[in-house]
Structure 1
Amino acid sequence: MSESRAEGRRRGAARVCAVAAAIWACGFAATAAAQPAFEIEDLLSAPQPEQLTAAATAPLIAWVGNERGVRNVWTARAPEFAPRKLSGYDADDGQTIGALQLSRDGRWLAYVRGGSADAAGSNSNPTGDPDGQEQAVWVVASDGSGKPQRIAAGRSALFAPNGDALIVQGRSLGCYALPGATAPGWCKEALLKTRGANSAAEFAPDGKSLAFVSNRGDHSFVGVLDLEKREVRWIGADFNNDAAPAFSPDGRRIAFLRTAANKPGDGFDLTKANPFEIWVADADTGLAKRVHRSSETAGGYAQFNGADPLMWSRDNRLIFASEQSGWLHWYAIPPEGGAPTPLSRGECEAETVALADDGAFVFGGNCAQIDYRQVFSVDAQGKAQTLLTAKQEIATDPLPLAGGQWIALRHADARRPTAIAVMPSAGGAPKRIFPAQLPARFPLDRLVEPKTITLTASDGIVSHATVFEPPASFKGKRAALIYAHGGPIRQMLPGWHYSSYYYNDYASNQWLASRGYVVLALNYRDGTGYGQTFRLADKQGPRGASEYQDVLAAQAWLAARADVDARRIGIYGGSYGGFLTSTALARNSDLFAAGVDRHGVHDWRESAKGGDNSGLWGLKPDELELAYQSSPMSRLAGWRSPVLVIHGDDDRAVKFSQGIDLVERLRERKVPVETLVLPDEDHFFLRYASWLRVHRAAADFFARRLGTGAAQAERSDAAKPKSGG
């Protein structure tokens, strides 16, 4: 392109003025064009670490590095912690890398590359590769002495304690020899052929038996496979759902969690809090007894939030998650039973946890400042809870390393994006090792420090939000945007998020603020981080959409600002945030001038049919009319504001048909609707190229519809949405 970047911006500003056809828009765009600008590519130029794991007996860590969509596995060893790249993938192909597992001695790293298959057996393939893709387990030597080797198709892996074999979980469980090793006699590709979906494998400490969970649909059992005898013992089998098996340090006992089985007609409901029990069984006989029963409202989220919900520590305690205080915390009891000892405490949540060799405990949570994330240590007796990181940073996923001298973690703040970091176990400033330096193009000094605020809805519920202020160089009345996260069990932070999806949306909020918008990221009721009562808010989602009152409170807060033009407030979000975006446009086109709906739920009755993750509310037949009235689709008569609808058509979380239905109905009503469809793309936009298209399309849409922000750089027509009105 022959014209200079500055000249391109001036021409872009002129185009915005012509489209907007308003004097204030031209003046605003011209002011924006004169400012030092950065693009969304600059914000996403830093390598992003997506996972973190550690070896049991070696001071070694491993992670996934995502460099503009190219994912590879890395390791680093104490005390130098020099990053070593172990794989050589070189394409932005959307093939995720996950389920990282280091062997106990740290010699091998196992990982899973590729996404899961859909009901038809097709694996995630966002590039549309005509040869298709697979999901498979790979291993690689952690010292970089060889290339990764494919082991077998599967979705997770588990090293045998002696390091000669690998358990692969696919449709069931199989065993494979490690490269250069001779597999033990019991190791076979079809290790387990019992009924049910077999998963959650756990070796006994001596490696002679394997615990697993057999899911039978409406119930599940814990089993123990004697590897030499080829015999399965069912552990305390009853009319229940049993899960999360954990061996005692000596291997003689096994603990597990028990919840009620699924009664006919019942579906999973994420708005319910449930009791749970902890049982301990003799590993040889299978005879089990209950050692703990929670309160009626202590379980549910604590058992499915991603952390291992039950662990047996080396100092012989059972460590488990519970919401018995109304907040997600961790407790310890003796394996014989007794009153739980709290290991984390306060009106806050302890999300990720890990145990040290000496019985000490580290966790990542928000117990020092509720809108951020910090790392804490707890002594083996659970008496002292010590803050190890700064209050107003994003420190997560702490892992004590073998030897007890170091803690590895993921670290970020408002300006510095997420990095792998290490710190002394006693605390201190985290040393960021990947990336150790940010790319020269990354606009570190031009990012804003978001402000945290609270909002009170019309029904008295208090929600939280972070506000991104545009540069002071933008003068006059500004347009504003509300960002609504998905989930709904999520929390946006005033810094770079540890989740890849919300890492991208934090970048988007920063970018939109740099273009002149006041951006408010709303943590509405139903989200996590603020306790069980907040998360289980009454009449949420398909049972009344009560969280929309928080959206209205956010709009009123923005409209009351002297520097915001109340006629130019937009809204955007993905998944549940897409639902709230369409709800706002359907109910209040008088308040919301435009919106971007990414893969949102539009009709809760369709969600209730199942088949994706939007149907997790356990709706009964007599609730379907309320579900429809709680849906944007029931309010289309009042929808007049323009909308951009974005959806990937290989979405397994929210069906693509939700977008089809909304777009067709809006077109029939002559509502200004634009679209961006991403063939073969996933709900989470697995490719860097897809995220660029999504970000650019949204910014371009808001610039045209709200008449605000600096003009965008030239780009191909492929990035632009299509207009349907």
Structure 2
Amino acid sequence: MRATLRLAMIGCLGLALTAGRAAPAPDLKAFLAYPFLTDLVAPERGGALAWIEMREGKRSVWQARGADLTATRLAGSGLDDGMELAELAFSPDGRILAWVRGGGEHNDWAANLPPPNPASAVAQPTQEIWVSVEGSAPVQVAEGAEPALSATGRLAFVKDHQAWTVTLTPGAKPEKLFYDRGKIGDLAWSPDGSKLAFVSHRGDHSFIGIYAGPDVPIRWLAPATAYDGDFAWSPDGTRIAFVRREGEADLLASPLTETPNPFSIWVASVADGRARQLWASPRTIEGSYPQVPDGMFVRWAAGDRIVFRAEMDGWPHLYALSAGAGGTPRLLTPGAYMVEHVALAPDRTALIYDANTGATPGDIDRRHLYRVGLDGGAPVALTKGEGVEFTGAALGGGKVAYVGASPTGPMRVMLAGGGTPKPLGEPGPAYAPPGMVVPLPVSFTAADGTLIHGQLFVAKGQAARKPGLIFVHGGPPRQMLLGPSYMDYYAHAYAMNQYYAAHGYVVLSVNYRLGIGYGRAFQHPAKGGIAGNSEYQDVQAGARFLAAQSSVDPARIGIWGGSYGGLLTAHALAHDSAIFKAGVDFHGVHDWSLYPGLITRPERYEQGDYDAAMKSAFESSPESALKGWTSPVLLIAGDDDRNVRFDQTVDLARRLRAQGTPFETLILPNEIHGFLRYDSWLRADEASVEFLGRTLKP
């Protein structure tokens, strides 16, 4: 009786209500039934394709082979089991395809944790390597990750941070290739398959090593007090090009200001390990090592040239450098846009990439496919229009495959070259949820004069003065598009923004500073993140823009977002509850000072500098303004989160409860940061829809 009375009192106060599974909102499942396609790859010599499809949590591996590239489904359980499929890898000739089943969230923090178990299976899940030879039935050959196939069909992989191998014969047992005291990664066979190059990560430095056989010591390439990696074999296998840098630059890991993190391109002899520097980037902010988008991308191209990505003009672009003479790199992709997802053509004379540029208004918030030759000439557009196209794979003979989608249609793998692009694979069940809209490209100005881009989702023909909803992405180095994203987390967010627009909300997705797509200065702003939270003013500007729309009721504006978007959702509710009447916070960061490791290497700083950085970290956190938080919030998180620690949600809930702020929670046992199960997303979305409807549509 006493316990019952106590629970009833808590419910009346609106505190700590655990959100149960609400009744499904009308046609929510229709919006979540989109096909998501990822990991589109082609073998080094072209002639085949593979990709991964996910629909309602059911993952499958597809392969297209033969002259007409007939696509077949190779693998997939047909279950929403949360077992990720990833890391597709062809042998150079395309005869063998390998992939990994299980795992998730690849970062240093998660590296020593067992594979996640989001379905709460009784048996502990494992991370497995599967192989299909010439399209045959797949076979599990080992436990591990990062499969790498040689020209001779030999498979190497990583297990427990060491390099292993297994022969592709029935009953073969995996064997450790060699011992190394570092953490092994980035396996790559030489062109003839006789040697294996790898990176040995050793904390404050890393080496590139060459394994040449069981009786040959590891050969290290010019070892130094540096981070060496991002390497590429020469076509004849006698040299390796690699990137050297002194340290890692990360906006959120710097104390209060960003400092240059230059890098250099080196070429080493495989025979003796000696190396020489070909070129060094300028010691400027723009000359810093480019970590996003999509890493460095280093390849050895035709004409003894090395191609790589850099941001020396303030945008991520491709450059070519002579492997023999060095000199000044030649810019291949000039312009105020970002180059992303790059592939080298089989003959090594051209690069295929997607970029946020084109002739259609709003292309800065799209992706289109381009080809640029290494022998000169301007990039050539392969796609255009109001759709999005990304992750190109070069097949040879002028053929290119890519993933494409319209703003209101499903993703498909498309084949271009020699006529109208044609879809590959089976279309699957129709994806046509009612009420989808073509989002509008919009822009508005933050308080400090910074131009901010966004996408406005508004349905026609509905009653005026609807509630408004701000969406903020995570990352933060991400960009929401005028169509589905190439990342599954944001493809889901796009579908939900479409759902909200179709059900009586006007939605504004805000691409705030710290994000990609608008130049390096935008991505690395002054006083961003833990150094001052300057990006929050972009959210405030978005709210002003949304409130000014004639179709929006400014008294009913809410906000939702995940990860860094959860942090900004919490900021909005803490600083501006008068504007934001409710919010849904997916696994957000709420107190930066709970992450002292973000102030990298505290022993490097004077105590006063470190104390100032920690003070700034807390003052840049939502919990520093908690007393102003009066609007209700729904907190959603998985307790096996490996990107944002679960204690961020625990701590916020404890503080909100203490001051009487209304909040509700939906906790998903054993789920990770990017939920692995469709059922988890469905439960979270049902709870979000019900909560926002109850708080913004009374």
More displaced stretch, 66-75 vs 309-318: 309-318
Matching residue within 362, 378, 383 for 2:377: 383
1:341 and 2:327 are equivalent in the alignment: no
Deviation at 1:317, TM superposition (A): 0.9
Distance 1:218 1:152, change over 3 A: same
Give a deviation string over 1:475-527, Cα, whole Å, max 9, x none.
13110000000001000001111110000000000000001100000000110
- 2:513–2:538 Cα contact (<8 Å) kept: yes
Distance 1:432 1:300, change over 3 A: farther
More displaced stretch, 555-564 vs 226-235: 226-235
Residue equivalent to 1:520? 508
- 2:567 and 2:694 map into 1 onto residues whose CA distance is 23
- 1:281 and 1:691 map into 2 onto residues whose CA distance is 48
Distance 1:611 1:539, change over 3 A: closer
- 2:270 and 2:547 map into 1 onto residues whose CA distance is 63
Deviation at 1:624, TM superposition (A): 0.7
- 1:360–1:378 Cα contact (<8 Å) kept: yes
Residue equivalent to 1:33? none
- 1:644 and 1:392 map into 2 onto residues whose CA distance is 35
- 1:99–1:112 Cα contact (<8 Å) kept: yes
Matching residue within 183, 188, 194 for 1:202: 188
Deviation at 1:691, TM superposition (A): 0.8
Distance 1:121 1:386, change over 3 A: closer
Residue equivalent to 2:116? 124
Residue equivalent to 1:692? 682
- 1:480–1:568 Cα contact (<8 Å) kept: yes
RMSD, aligned CA: 2.4
Matching residue within 330, 340, 346 for 1:351: 340
Write out aligned runs for 1:146-545 (5 A). 146=137, 148-179=138-169, 189-227=175-213, 229-261=215-247, 273-296=260-283, 297-298=285-286, 302-307=290-295, 309-336=297-324, 337-358=326-347, 359-368=349-358, 369-401=363-395, 403-424=396-417, 429-436=420-427, 439-440=429-430, 442-443=431-432, 446-472=435-461, 474-545=462-533
Distance 1:506 1:582, change over 3 A: same
- 1:162 and 1:196 map into 2 onto residues whose CA distance is 27
- Structure 1 residue runs of 5 or longer lacking an equivalent are 1-18, 20-36, 613-618, 709-725
- 1:587–1:639 Cα contact (<8 Å) kept: yes
Give a deviation string over 1:595-638, Cα, whole Å, max 9, x none.
000000000001234699xxxxxx94431111111111011111
Deviation at 1:639, TM superposition (A): 0.7
Residue equivalent to 1:643? 633
- 2:341 and 2:258 map into 1 onto residues whose CA distance is 21
- 2:241 and 2:545 map into 1 onto residues whose CA distance is 50
Deviation at 1:667, TM superposition (A): 1.2
- 1:274–1:298 Cα contact (<8 Å) kept: no
Distance 1:129 1:410, change over 3 A: same
Distance 1:214 1:80, change over 3 A: same
- 1:483–1:519 Cα contact (<8 Å) kept: yes
Deviation at 1:701, TM superposition (A): 0.7
- 2:697 and 2:261 map into 1 onto residues whose CA distance is 49
Deviation at 1:79, TM superposition (A): 4.1
Matching residue within 45, 60, 71 for 1:57: 45
Matching residue within 92, 95, 99 for 1:104: 92
- 2:454–2:509 Cα contact (<8 Å) kept: yes
- 2:134 and 2:573 map into 1 onto residues whose CA distance is 52
State the AA in 1 paired with 2:452: S
- 2:186 and 2:545 map into 1 onto residues whose CA distance is 47
Matching residue within 617, 620, 626 for 1:627: 617
Deviation at 1:363, TM superposition (A): 0.7
- 1:647 and 1:668 map into 2 onto residues whose CA distance is 20
State the AA in 1 paired with 2:394: P
Give a deviation string over 1:295-353, Cα, whole Å, max 9, x none.
22345562453345211114321011100010000100110201111121210000111
More displaced stretch, 551-560 vs 302-311: 302-311
State the AA in 1 paired with 2:34: A
Where 1:513 maps in the other structure, the secondary structure is: helix
Give a deviation string over 1:259-295, Cα, whole Å, max 9, x none.
00479xx967896552110011111111111001012
Distance 1:702 1:413, change over 3 A: same
More displaced stretch, 447-456 vs 67-76: 67-76
State the AA in 1 paired with 2:662: P
Where 1:675 maps in the other structure, the secondary structure is: strand
Residue equivalent to 1:141? 133
Residue equivalent to 1:553? 541
State the AA in 2 paired with 1:463: I
Distance 1:380 1:261, change over 3 A: closer
Where 2:87 maps in the other structure, the secondary structure is: strand
Deviation at 1:240, TM superposition (A): 0.8
TM-score (norm 1): 0.86
Residue equivalent to 2:16? none
- 1:360 and 1:209 map into 2 onto residues whose CA distance is 27
Residue equivalent to 1:722? none
- 2:377 and 2:170 map into 1 onto residues whose CA distance is 47
Residue equivalent to 1:660? 650
Distance 1:317 1:687, change over 3 A: same
- 1:97 and 1:212 map into 2 onto residues whose CA distance is 23
- 1:38–1:443 Cα contact (<8 Å) kept: no
State the AA in 1 paired with 2:131: V
Deviation at 1:207, TM superposition (A): 1.8
Distance 1:348 1:304, change over 3 A: closer
* Number of equivalent positions: 653
Deviation at 1:581, TM superposition (A): 0.4
Write out aligned runs for 1:599-638 (5 A). 599-609=587-597, 620-638=610-628
Residue equivalent to 2:15? none
Deviation at 1:80, TM superposition (A): 2.9
Residue equivalent to 1:7? none
Where 1:339 maps in the other structure, the secondary structure is: strand
Where 1:86 maps in the other structure, the secondary structure is: strand
Distance 1:584 1:429, change over 3 A: farther
Where 2:580 maps in the other structure, the secondary structure is: coil
- 1:228 and 1:451 map into 2 onto residues whose CA distance is 60
